[in-house]
Structure 1
Amino acid sequence: MTRIVAGTAGGRRLKVPPKGTRPTSDRVREALFSSLEAMMDLDGAKVLDLYAGSGALGFEALSRGAAHATFVESDKRAAEVLKANARELGFGNTVIVNRTAEAFTSAESDVYDVVFADPPYAVGDEELGKVLSGLAGKLARDAVLIVERASRSGEPLWPDLVEPLRAKRYGDTAVYWGQVRSDG
């Protein structure tokens, strides 16, 4: 069972696509958001959830005060689950895009304060690197990027404007943090 950990929708359950997704565990999400909220105030933040799956990361951010979340998911069934979760939770401040993360970041022009990228473990360094590079010009000053991958995959290839901050392992999952350079 996947649920929202805290905030206005705390404790509410999320539907999960029947296959092909790997929702971020409650434990990892709780630790991730504890660290994120220590770094920045989510109130009013504009969030991008790439490879969204059930939307657990983006919906958690909305529950904790983010103003808007854009969810990008290439699987049509998962995108339908995202729409159902947004309706069920009463979050009208969402946009759900049924495209690949690479196609979205190469065409998108909005600016985001927080970006979550939780690609399938099979997504390689080069493909993820293209997606992250596609975010250039779409990140607010001091924007935070959080990438979740298999521990064995290693740190993502950050774009030049992003400074790597830290990494934390949770079993076979690793969470990597980056932030837009203050001179960027």
Structure 2
Amino acid sequence: MRIVAGRHKGLRLTPVGKGDPAAHLRPTTDRIRESLFNILHTRGLPGPETRVLDLFAGTGALGLEALSRGAAHVTFVEKNRPAQRLIEANIAKAGRAEDTRLLKTDATRLPMADHSFDLVFLDPPYGTDLGGKALAAAPWIAEGALIVWEDDRAHPAPEGFIPADERRFGSTWITFLEKPAAPR
């Protein structure tokens, strides 16, 4: 695994190795990440003011790719200890401790935040209903934010979100959702 483009292009991330079988780590492949960020680029994301929330962060590769491509800040959310160690090692490798925060908690039970997020990566364990629960538990998603939901199937937009796009990459589906502005 490596950072595909931007400031840290080519940076090799900490290998998952055999890891912890209970961790169910399934990093987004370089090819899918490259395709995903090409799609995001057409939307002007991530920009220099973009604040990113990486839920079920795993290795942190998606959030670090966003930083490499110009995001201002990434908050990683991961409850699994082996994955937390990978994220910490990858943040250190990239030298991005100042631009990141790691919340060692369950993505479906988030604490309150002092700011909102413009881009949300959502990569729950495949075949679970945790993605929808995490979105319902994340009150700090900004109006107009884009949610990128990776899973083994496409997802309908949950209440409070509208569908924007969906793409299939082999057995991986990426569902794009938007959080609309509140009616005035």
Instruction: Give the TM-score normalised by the residue count of structure 1.
Output: 0.89
SS at match of 1:103: coil
Q: 1:102 aligns with which of 101, 104, 108?
A: 108
Decide whether the 8 Å contact of 2:167 with 2:173 is kept in 1: yes
1:44 Cα deviation from its structure 2 partner: 2.0
Q: 1:56 aligns with which of 45, 56, 61?
A: 61
- What amino acid maps onto 2:35 in structure 1? A
Distance 1:117-1:156 versus aligned 2 partners, 3 A rule: farther
Q: 2:122 aligns with which of 108, 114, 117?
A: 117
Distance 1:174 1:21 in 2: 17
Q: Which runs of 5+ in 1 are unaligned?
A: none
Distance 1:159 1:47 in 2: 21
Q: 1:71 aligns with which of 72, 76, 87?
A: 76
Moved over 6 A (4+): none
Q: CA RMSD in A?
A: 1.5
**Pairing of 1:148-163 with structure 2 (within 5 A):** 148-151=150-153, 154-160=154-160, 162-163=161-162
SS at match of 2:32: helix
SS at match of 1:101: coil
Distance 1:4 1:67 in 2: 17
**Pairing of 1:6-85 with structure 2 (within 5 A):** 6-17=5-16, 18-19=19-20, 20-42=24-46, 43-85=48-90
1:159 Cα deviation from its structure 2 partner: 3.1
Q: 1:129 aligns with which of 129, 132, 152?
A: 132
SS at match of 1:176: strand
Instruction: Give the TM-score normalised by the residue count of structure 2.
Output: 0.89
Decide whether the 8 Å contact of 1:49 with 1:116 is kept in 2: yes
1:75 Cα deviation from its structure 2 partner: 0.5
Whether 1:139 aligns to 2:141 is yes
* Amino-acid identity (%): 37
SS at match of 1:96: strand
Please give the per-residue CA displacement for 1:61-97, whole angstroms capped at 9, x wherever unaligned: 0000001001111111110111111011111211011
1:98 Cα deviation from its structure 2 partner: 1.2
Distance 1:175-1:54 versus aligned 2 partners, 3 A rule: same
1:158 Cα deviation from its structure 2 partner: 2.0
Matched positions, count: 175
Alignment correspondent of 1:90: 95
- What amino acid maps onto 1:28 in structure 2? I
